[in-house]
A = this chain, B = another copy of it.
Amino acid sequence: MPTNHSKTDVLIIGAGPAGLMCATWLSRCGIPFRIIDKRSNEIFTGQADGLQCRSLEIFQSFSESSFDFATLNQSWKMANHMIEMCFWSPNGNGQLERNSRVADTIPGISRFTQSVIHQGNIEKWFVDSIDYFSNGQVKIERPLLPISINVNEKGTKDDQYPVEVKVVKLSSEESKPEQFGSEKVANGLYRQFDGDQDKSYKEKSTTTKEDEEEEEEEDCEIIHTKYVVGCDGAHSWVRKQLDIDMEGEQTDFVWGVLDMVPITNFPDIRNRCAIHSKDSGSVMVIPRENDLVRFYIQLKEVERDPATKTDNKQFNGNVDDTKAKTKGRIDRSKITPELILKQAQKIFEPYTLEMTDLSWYTGYQIGQRVSPQFSKFNNRVFIAGDACHTHSPKAGQGMNVSMQDTYNLGFKLALVCKGLAKPEILSTYESERLKVARDLIAFDHKLSRLFSGKPMIPNSDILDGVDMDEFHQVYLEGNKFASGTIVDYQNSLLINKSGDGGDTNDDDDDDDDNDCLIMNKLATKIPIGRRLYSVKMISQADGKPIHIADRLSSDGRFRVLVFPGDIKYNPEQLQTLHSFQDLLDESNFFLKKFTPINAFQDSVIDIITIHNNNRHDVEIFDFPDFTHPLDYKHRCDYWKLYSGKGETYHEGTFNMYEDYGIDGKRGVILVIRPDSHVAKVVPFSIDGLKQVDEYFNKFMISQTNNVLPSKPIDYDDSKRFIQPRLAV
């Protein structure tokens, strides 16, 4: 039977959160791609459940008026939104006591608060989204196992698809990893340690040349592709093919996890709690949906497998290293819910704790590892998510950082595959995300150590333990990091931190990350490189208050935000704004130059104008045409002009210029990447607009000869007034 050959632009290997986020981007942008997974449908590998603010912002950004990121809102209601975090530890008498309370999400950091929802729901939203955006064309293909990968590194011009991946269809029996423990209660005890699972897969993937012919008699396919994204988890096959090691360590702390409805007289059971007991270890309490509560419990007595006792590879992060050596790996088959509960009961004393409605449990040893490289073969093959960083789950970061990896990569792949941007932009994936992963591992390392350690008892003789004040401090610092909203990308093709507006380095005391924030003095509250913090503005056409983030949808487009200031009392500002029209009409200026000639003018770069006048003081037709352009049917697009200032009837008073530190008279121009990160800040002037042109010229590809093959407009007319998709 001959091997099948096929072509696609991108092959995503692994359909967990990282792979699904990548797939969502690609389907949103209309890129041909496939996504495969070796597991059969019925298996949920993960039970991650924390959604950080930034992940929620990203989900929201995929919403459209006609599509709400599947049932995001529905599930948002179902999710448990944690409000408060309580710290409990022994008082001077060694008695457990509520030590302090803080907001679980730092107020003001985002319009969302972090929440808890079952990973299965999140994966379902993604599947629905991919189905919607691809018009039902793309389904996850499973169980499909990759067995070899070859890259034609020389990449002649003729070889548009230089990567070859051979895949084989598994039977549903082969695609189920072995599971320990009770069959009645779901648990996570199958997804573990390098080498001790995936036996049948391993044998396949290490097949030697000689076996190849035999294999070809199976259901084999060779996929020729432009790019491969490996999102295949902690034991990543793709990473192994790239010959990239994980660097980091295994610790000696062993944790159990229980999801159940507790019966207790502990008063904070519906709050997030970190409880340090005097002698019995620690527990993290995470209240969930449907009155379930998740407990992360430090286990004292678990049998180890001495054969697995090894030195760790040296941790490579930038924190002090405990250099712990393990006593060997835990014997996972010995972990039972009763064992975990028993330990929890000791920690909770003198409060009572009983269990009902047990729905899931697992056990693990904390380890922190990160890959030194996120791509190889001249940016033809990437790894993302757990494939390049693993750590403890207590910071609630794993799924979030994984999704954010491919949220970073996806739009870059889309722009390159469309022929809109140069492949060089793909290098920014590793430079931007490797730093995030390292920061994450360092944070997790620090937090785990403090959380797992014995507490110091104030005013007692037990003074060599973990200082609770230090723990709170690290937690609070980490909380900002953990929100995902302060990720700061450095200078690159896509981020220009310097400009002629005069930059300020603001080492904000409130910001506990190590980097200096770079602000342009024209927008003193907008750190360049971070995602644009969302505030509300008012639609000029209909007075509707709207979060600017909701005008910055994840649809693949760059945005140029024009802030002309107060145009009523500064007529020269209005004059400048009108003079922009001539530039924008030029075929060699960025707007026309980088947009296929027969696509909607805002298909690639969307220009939004936000003035600093009360909406009632100006009229829409005072403004130049590009603020309310007509389409081929002469229909007007009313959704490009906003007021940043004024009272609203139902939502209070807005002042966007103040929120962003923009001078209300002079204005500013911002360039925003498709992932909402601030790329460049320039003055509101002809010269400033020319700097925007320069920005795009560095990495975009001229479309002045590109006539799209189909009818002038490739959209269903009924969808016209929805955000247009990235031009096909």
Cβ contact of A621, chosen from B77, B261, B267, B721, cutoff 8 A: B267
A708 nearest CB across to chain B (Å) = 22
Is the Cβ of A290 less than 8 Å from the Cβ of B616? Answer: no
CB-CB contacts of A238-275 with B at 8 A, as 1s and 0s? 00000000000000000000000101010101110000
Query: Which of B105, B291, B634, B648 is in CB contact (< 8 Å) with A650?
Result: B105
Contact mask A188-230 → B, CB, 8 Å, 1/0? 0000000000000000000000000000000000000000000
Chain A contacts with B in 610-639, Cβ cutoff 8 A: 616, 619-621, 633-636, 638
Flag if B267 contacts A633 (CB, 8 Å): no
Given contact pairs A83-B543, A84-B542, A263-B634, a sample of 10 additional A-B residue pairs in the complex whose CB atoms are under 8 Å apart: A65-B77, A68-B73, A73-B73, A103-B649, A267-B619, A271-B541, A290-B721, A291-B635, A291-B638, A357-B633
Would you give the shortest CB distance from A424 to chain B, in whole angstroms?
A: 38
Within 8 Å CB of A460, what residues of B? Answer: none
Among B104, B356, B543, B720, the residue within 8 A (CB) of A634 is: B356
CB-CB contacts of A99-115 with B at 8 A, as 1s and 0s? 00101110100000100
- Contacting pair A620 B267 (CB below 8 A): yes
Which residues of B lie under 8 Å from residue A269 when comparing CB positions? Answer: 541
Q: Is the CB of A466 closer than 8 A to any CB of chain B? A: no
Q: Does A312 contact B (CB under 8 A)?
A: no
B residues near A664, Cβ cutoff 8 Å: none
Residues of B contacting A156 with CB < 8 Å?
none
Task: Output the nearest chain B residue to A101 by Cβ-Cβ distance.
Answer: B616
Given A107-B649, A620-B267: A68 and B74 interface contact (C-beta under 8 Å): yes
Interface flag for A81 (CB, 8 Å): yes
Q: Is A514 interfacial (CB 8 A cutoff)? A: no
Q: Which of B73, B78, B261, B542 contacts A270 (CB 8 A)?
A: B542
Q: How far is the CB of A373 from chain B (nearest CB, A)?
A: 40
Q: Which residue of B lies closest to A265 (CB)?
A: B621
User: Does A291 lie within 8 Å of B81, measured CB to CB?
Assistant: no
Contact check, A542 vs B650: say whether CB atoms are below 8 A apart: no
- Number of this chain's copies in the assembly equals 2
B544 touches A83 (CB 8 A): yes
Q: Is the CB of B103 within 8 A of A650?
A: yes
In the bound complex, residues from chain B placing their C-beta under 8 Å from that of A290 are: 65, 718, 721-722
Please tell me which one of the listed residues B68, B113, B543 contacts residue A271 in the complex, with CB atoms under 8 A apart. Answer: B543
A650 touches B107 (CB 8 A): yes
Interchain nearest-CB distance for A330 vs B (Å): 31
Q: Across the interface, do A635 and B356 meet the contact criterion of CB distance under 8 Å?
A: yes
A78 touches B66 (CB 8 A): yes
Chain B residues, CB < 8 A from A267:
619-621
> Does A337 interact with chain B (Cβ within 8 Å)?
no
Complexed CA–CA distance, A289 and B639 (Å): 13
Q: Can you report 22 A-B residue pairs in the complex whose CB atoms are below 8 A from each other?
A: A65-B77, A65-B289, A65-B290, A66-B78, A68-B71, A68-B77, A73-B73, A83-B542, A83-B649, A84-B649, A107-B649, A107-B650, A263-B633, A263-B634, A267-B620, A269-B541, A270-B541, A270-B542, A270-B638, A290-B718, A356-B635, A357-B633
Q: Which of A65, A542, A616 has the most CB of B within 10 A?
A: A542
Docked Cα-Cα span, A357 to B634, in Å, equals 12
A240 to B721 alpha-carbon distance, docked (Å): 46
Does any Cβ of B come within 8 Å of A287's Cβ? yes
Tell me if A717 counts as interface (CB < 8 A to partner B): yes
The 9 nearest A-B residue pairs measured at CB:
A103-B649, A73-B73, A270-B542, A270-B541, A83-B543, A291-B721, A84-B543, A68-B74, A263-B634
**Complex: chain B residue closest to A80, CB-CB:** B542
Collect the chain B residues with CB atoms within 8 Å of residue A619's CB. Answer: 267
A286-313 contact mask (Cβ, 8 Å, vs B): 1 or 0:
0101110000000000000000000000
Q: What is the CB-to-nearest-CB distance from A472 to chain B, in angstroms, rounded to a whole number?
A: 16
Which of chain B's residues have a CB closer than 8 A to the CB of A83?
542-545, 648-650
Are A356 and B77 in contact, with the CB atoms below 8 A?
Answer: no
Q: Are A649 and B105 in contact (CB under 8 A)?
A: yes
User: CB of A82 within 8 A of chain B?
Assistant: yes
- A63 CB-CB contact with B under 8 Å: yes
Given contacts A63-B77, A83-B542, A717-B357, whether A263 and B636 have CB atoms under 8 Å apart is: yes
A542 to B65, CA, bound (A): 33
Contact with B along A331-347 (1 / 0, CB 8 A): 00000000000000000
Establish whether residues B66 and A542, one from each chain, have CB atoms under 8 Å apart when the complex forms: no
CA distance A35 to B648 in the complex (A): 43
Query: Which of B73, B261, B271 touches A542 (beta carbons < 8 Å)?
Result: B271
- C-alpha spacing A289/B356, complex, angstroms: 48
Closest B residue to A630 by beta carbon equals B263
Q: How far is the CA of A105 from the CA of B544 in the complex (A)?
A: 12
- Contact check, A635 vs B263: say whether CB atoms are below 8 A apart: yes
Q: How far is the CB of A358 from chain B (nearest CB, A)?
A: 12
* CB-defined contacts of A635 to chain B, threshold 8 Å: 261, 263, 291, 356-357
Q: Let me know if B633 and A81 touch, CB within 8 A.
A: no
Within 8 Å CB of A291, what residues of B?
A: 635, 638, 720-721
Which residues of the other chain, B, contact A73 by a CB distance below 8 angstroms? 68, 73-74, 77
